[in-house]
Structure 1
Amino acid sequence: MEKGLSLAINQLILLIIAVVVLLVALGIIYGQVPNINEIKANQQRISLCNAYVKSDPKCEDVDQVEDEVTEKLANVCQQLRYPGCSGSLTVECVKKCCDIACPGTK
């Protein structure tokens, strides 16, 4: 009886090790690949920031920009969780969310 019990315990240990290795591999794969929605939101953010800067090159007056652009930019910046970006679009939010396009924000 000992041999049969020993074989079952060995198989159980191998199964546990295999599951742990699989979970670690999945964690590495999915933990380092950015979410596809985040990638799309960043692409949209860059496009909207470029459109924003065409109307307000210094990023100092949100009122100069079309409402459609400011609304979409506010939504994308909120989705990406930029600080100061909740509710309607503010100059502070624009300077943080569009830091690449706005001069003197780095």
Structure 2
Amino acid sequence: MLLTLSCGAVGLTLTVASRAYLLEPHWNPTLEEQALARIHRLGQTKEVTTVRLYMRNSFEEEVIKVQESKKQLANVLLLPHDDGSTGGNLETLHRLRSLL
């Protein structure tokens, strides 16, 4: 079955699949994760292999860098800040602010 990310990330349970191929990186890393989660559902009995294909020295590498930056930003925003220290997190937020 061939699916786009926008189609494969919504409302499907694909536990009969055992392989997923990501052929094009998406700006939104959670969209890719949601699409892959459709295979890794309750009831999955097979080992699942995920393969990500991208072209080196291309625009796709830049998209992957943006994905990583967005994941870092989400981690900074979602981490508990009980100790009151903001030094490293504030610096990271300023660095990642360019994404917004």
- Alignment TM-score, normalising by the size of structure 1: 0.25
Q: Which has the larger Rg?
A: 1
Structure with the larger strand share:
2
Which has the higher relative contact order, 1 or 2, with Cα contacts under 8 A spaced 6 or more apart?
2
Structure with the larger helix share:
1
- Alignment TM-score, normalising by the size of structure 2: 0.26
